[in-house]
Chain A
Amino acid sequence: DTAVSQTPKYLVTQMGNDKSIKCEQNLGHDTMYWYKQDSKKFLKIMFSYNNKELIINETVPNRFSPKSPDKAHLNLHINSLELGDSAVYFCASSQTRENIQYFGAGTRLSVL
């Protein structure tokens, strides 16, 4: 049973399109994150939610909009995709005060 699951695993799309990535965790954690990993492997945090409340919102274009319907789910919607959005997007979760993070398998986004 996968602890943190993301869908889709691969996403190939044209510039200008809108797409969503979904994430679910069954670890009972109360904090979830979105990271972007570029081609040089650098991991950059984008957003974090704690119990459905947005707590970290890094400098990210407002084309990116996270949504957390409940503490087990965190989705990421991207409007008007650009070439520079191509990357691997990881969802992660952690328990309050521990911050050891459990990552999903990643979504490999390619914008053509």
Chain B
Amino acid sequence: GQQVMQIPQYQHVQEGEDFTTYCNSSTTLSNIQWYKQRPGGHPVFLIQLVKSGEVKKQKRLTFQFGEAKKNSSLHITATQTTDVGTYFCAGPDGTSYGKLTFGQGTILTVHP
């Protein structure tokens, strides 16, 4: 079945440093989504990328979708303590209606 791999599993940074998490799918994706889960919270949708090579920005966050639509990345510039949490990528299963396959998540810790 489809697999979505995400690295790294953990990342510790000093406030102000940049952070990147990478996502790779075993199959071509129609779209990829990113979610953020704050400690003790629930996953919250951040963004969806649909087009090959697409790049989208949300303030200090930059999201990319690979040309082959099998990989994606999330880059945070100059991290802040509010960026702490787990970042998940997720892609449609393609076989089961509405099913998303989530990556394992990257747990980001930001030291002040």
Contact = CB atoms under 8 A, between A and B. Distances in A.
Interface of A: 31, 33, 40-43, 45, 48, 50, 55-56, 90, 94, 96, 99-106
A40 B105 CA distance: 9
Contacts of A41: 37, 86, 104-105, 107
Query: Which label, helix, strand, loop or mixed, suits the secondary structure of the B interface?
Result: strand
Query: Which label, helix, strand, loop or mixed, suits the secondary structure of the A interface?
Result: strand
A45 B37 CA distance: 16
B102 interface: yes
Contacts, number: 57
B96 interface: yes
A40 to B, nearest CB: 8
B98 A48 contact: yes
Interface of B: 33, 35, 37, 41-45, 48, 86, 88, 90, 92, 96-100, 102, 104-105, 107
Nearest to A96: B98
A102 B104 contact: no
A4 to B, nearest CB: 9
